[in-house]
Structure 1
Amino acid sequence: MTPASAHDALAVARDLAAGFATDAATRDADRELPHDQIKALKESGLLALSVPREYGGLDVSATVLAEVFRLFAHADPSLSQIPHSHFVFLEALRLQGSPDQQRFFYQRVLDGALFANAQSERGPHTVDVDATTLVQGADGYTLTGRKFYSTGALFADWVVVRASLSDGSGAVPTNKTPKAVAFVPRDAAGLDIVDDWDGMGQRTTASGTVTLDGVAVPAEHVVPFSPIFTVPTTYGARAQLWHAAIDVGIATGALEAGVAQVAKARPHFEAAVTAAVDDPTLITVAGELTVTVRGAQALLAEAARTLDAATADLTEDSAAEASIAVAAAKVAAVRACLEASTSLFELGGTRSAGASANLSRYWRDARTHTLHDPTRWKVQHIGRYTLSGTRPPRHGQI
């Protein structure tokens, strides 16, 4: 059942996060997938937080949903990434789905369904090209291709596949080929999901390979994707805001873990103190790190407010401002989570490097997750906007 208010939603998220934190280190070390935790998430009603009110959802603000992601990432960064694409594709459905499609899929979500992505492909083509194709026939579409890094697909009730629309001639898709997303039930014939993710971090996201071998997709389960980027929207900014929230959550979790380690650490003999918490050099590390992490939290909150304002009054300018605010938050979040996940070892000393504590998961998760979309391009967009007012590009990664 969906929580009755945003306040209730955050309370549910905090309770869930507390449960997610239990044994998170062990799940990572053993690569034990969080089946029970995802079941609890489905039953919590939180997956319907962005469903519009007219369809029975709560339609919470970006500010609230960003905090939900941060809470989950603070507890377990891998688990927090699993519902990311769920909310991204709910936004695609809101922007491009027909009323009948919205009614059908929103109800599935209200009933606890989880959407997962099948988007990324491997080269030689660039990431804005989908070799996976949807070919329209008399009775619907046929979906063929292979996807990698399909986060959460093993837990999904519906796998949402981004594909190029093809006329069946065999022409190779390009970045100009129109795209759509196909909502495919997990048990569809021809859909195969392999648990082959072997990343050093985000180890329990179930980001495996999805193979699509002539999957039949009814026309009513295909939603246009390319038109999203022909007009001002906050689609890309939302997707990136959730990523930034995950990074901030990793940062706050790593800072908390580092502080806990100080209580167990021995002070350096040159500090001439009896407790590590009184070591002036560690006090400086903790102070500097807190400024960095709290700065990232503040930029995340500001970006969410800017995105909410743009949603309420959407124009070319407000959409651009939201994208830039999110880009700034993303840069700060990446820096904060990488710094926090490294500095926790300074705070904890040699003891913190022990394998039993598995504190390396914070850095491994941070380094892996922050590879999703290079912040060096974010800085470029921010700089151009600052100096010349050049609006950032419209795509799913800004």
Structure 2
Amino acid sequence: MTIDSHEAAVAAAHEVAAALAPGVIERDRAGAATVPSDALATLDASGLLAVTVPRQDGGPGLGPSTLAEVIRVIAATDPAVAQVPQAHYLLVDVLAVHGDKDTRTRLLAEVLAGRRIGNALAERGGKHAQDLRTRLTGDRLTGRKYYTTGALTSAWIAVSALDDAGRLVLAFVPRDAAGVTVDTDWDVMGQRATISGTATFEDVPAPYVIDYAHAYEVPQQLGARAQLVHAAIEVGIAGAALRDARAYLRDKARPSTEAVRAGASVAGDDPHVRHRYGRVATRVRAAESLLADAARTLDGIGLVPASAQEAARGSLAVAAAKAFGSEVAVDTASELFQMCGTSATASKYDLDRHWRNARTHSVHDPLDWKYHHIAAYELGDVLPPSHGQL
């Protein structure tokens, strides 16, 4: 499917969301026991994988505002599926800016054909997730990764490694290459259908390699654009929790005994319910506005910022949207039960998935550091660090 405008992309996202809706509870309950192949095939066939491919590479060249809204719409139905292409979009950006002609031509053509790129960037066992033990020796890749969202069902996997000189590189290998194993050892309380488990690479030929270190030695928006997708996922979860709270209050919830004594005939008449709903609804709208503002900021800066100051402006705008959106998602998903009552906790509704998804995804990276960098810049003109994600 070809998408050539913001409106077409958003319409496609709504179509994907509608297709995903009937199975979202089953996917959440199944977790890694059942690979969501049909759901991901719907996403891959939608044309949305290619929305950010530059025009000079045959794509529509749509920007962050489009991407943020596409992800928000899908995440409001199934945030686990919405997260699967998060690294894919980052990798499209990396290829667009830093790929040599052959690498860029081949892999972006794959993306245009609906073939998704998964990631294998983080590792366990070191001092932190980017303390890498994976090595590229010559053109052979060996290592073990975790948090490999999208890798299981992708066509290609981008693997971070240190080369013979100890320099950070990004190696692209076919998912079905000999020596590549992707496991389903993903057992977490939320975002269960991402199946972001272990990937192992045993002497795997790497046909395409990028000097990944260089990407973060110059002013860049790669981290900000990647974090924008995470922010959109959180805001989508917040909107979903608010939507389901509203539906339950209107259609199912009974007023409490205290509320009836105070004159309420339906749950929505309870003044305390109204106060809580009004508060969380306002915060969700604020999170949506902050996300849209951050996306517009990145639209204006472009994929290659003109200066470190411009790069910082984009990173800090997204940091605010991600931090606030994460807090609002967790809060809204919890307040849902305070408003709707005990009956809303029945497992048949699976409403707890909103809190589990928000809580799991929100700790992807520390929110406190985002607020820290915002304050450091506002109070002391300290630029945020130029690394993978703020």
Asked whether the two chains share a fold, i.e. TM above 0.5, the reply is: yes
Q: Which residue of 2 is the match for residue 311 of structure 1? A: 302
Q: Is the 8 A contact 2:123 2:130 kept in 1?
A: no
Q: Which residue of 2 is the match for residue 73 of structure 1? A: 75
- 1:27: how far off? 1.4
Q: Is the 8 A contact 1:2 1:49 kept in 2?
A: no
Aligned with 2:258 (options 270, 273, 276): 270
Q: Which residue of 1 is the match for residue 322 of structure 2? A: 330
- 1:196: how far off? 0.6
Q: Which residue of 1 is the match for residue 340 of structure 2? A: 348
- Cα deviation digits, residues 310-343 of structure 1 (max 9, x gap): 1176221111111111111111111111011101
Q: Which amino acid aligns with 2:156?
A: W
- 1:121: how far off? 0.4
Q: Which residue of 2 is the match for residue 99 of structure 1? A: 101
- Equivalent residues in 2 for 1:207-222 (5 A)? 207-218=196-207, 221-222=208-209
- 1:30: how far off? 2.4
- Cα deviation digits, residues 82-126 of structure 1 (max 9, x gap): 000100111111121012211111111111100111111012332
Q: Which amino acid aligns with 1:4?
A: D
Q: Is the 8 A contact 1:259 1:347 kept in 2?
A: no
In the alignment, the residues of structure 2 paired with residue 327 and residue 27 of structure 1 have an alpha-carbon distance, to the nearest angstrom, of 30
Q: 1:16 aligned to 2:8?
A: no
In the alignment, the residues of structure 1 paired with residue 163 and residue 102 of structure 2 have an alpha-carbon distance, to the nearest angstrom, of 21
Q: Which residue of 2 is the match for residue 288 of structure 1? A: 279
Q: Is the 8 A contact 1:241 1:330 kept in 2?
A: yes
Q: Which residue of 1 is the match for residue 3 of structure 2? A: 3
Q: 1:236 aligned to 2:227?
A: no
Q: Which amino acid aligns with 2:278?
A: G
Q: Which residue of 2 is the match for residue 40 of structure 1? A: 42
- Cα deviation digits, residues 139-184 of structure 1 (max 9, x gap): xx110010011112111010111111125xxxxxxxxx42111111
Q: Which amino acid aligns with 2:242?
A: L
- Cα deviation digits, residues 8-51 of structure 1 (max 9, x gap): 11111111111112220121112233211111111111100011
- 1:131: how far off? 0.8
Q: Which amino acid aligns with 2:93?
A: E
- The DSSP-based 3-state class of the residue aligned with 2:302 is helix
Give the TM-score taking structure 1 as reference length: 0.94
In the alignment, the residues of structure 2 paired with residue 286 and residue 314 of structure 1 have an alpha-carbon distance, to the nearest angstrom, of 43
Q: 1:142 aligned to 2:161?
A: no
Q: Which residue of 2 is the match for residue 246 of structure 1? A: 233
Which region of structure 1 is more displaced relative to structure 2, 233-242 or 22-31?
A: 22-31
Q: Is the 8 A contact 1:151 1:205 kept in 2?
A: yes
Q: Which residue of 2 is the match for residue 375 of structure 1? A: 367
Q: 1:201 aligned to 2:199?
A: no
Q: Is the 8 A contact 1:247 1:366 kept in 2?
A: yes
Q: Which residue of 2 is the match for residue 166 of structure 1? A: 164
Q: Is the 8 A contact 2:83 2:149 kept in 1?
A: yes
- The DSSP-based 3-state class of the residue aligned with 1:266 is coil
Name stretches of at least 5 consecutive residues in structure 2 with no aligned partner.
none
Aligned with 1:155 (options 150, 153, 156): 153
- Cα deviation digits, residues 179-236 of structure 1 (max 9, x gap): 1111110110111111110011111102111001111112xx1111110111111111
Q: Which amino acid aligns with 1:11?
A: A
Q: Is the 8 A contact 2:245 2:340 kept in 1?
A: yes
Q: Is the 8 A contact 1:115 1:159 kept in 2?
A: yes
- The DSSP-based 3-state class of the residue aligned with 1:204 is helix
Q: Which amino acid aligns with 1:146?
A: R
- 1:129: how far off? 2.0
Q: Is the 8 A contact 1:261 1:347 kept in 2?
A: no
Q: Which residue of 1 is the match for residue 244 of structure 2? A: 257
In the alignment, the residues of structure 1 paired with residue 209 and residue 80 of structure 2 have an alpha-carbon distance, to the nearest angstrom, of 29
- Cα deviation digits, residues 257-299 of structure 1 (max 9, x gap): 1111112111122222111111111110110001111111111
- The DSSP-based 3-state class of the residue aligned with 1:44 is coil
- 1:389: how far off? 1.0
Aligned with 2:119 (options 117, 120, 128): 117
Q: Is the 8 A contact 2:186 2:192 kept in 1?
A: yes
In the alignment, the residues of structure 2 paired with residue 68 and residue 384 of structure 1 have an alpha-carbon distance, to the nearest angstrom, of 32
Q: Which residue of 2 is the match for residue 190 of structure 1? A: 179
Give the TM-score taking structure 2 as reference length: 0.96
Aligned with 2:293 (options 284, 302, 324): 302
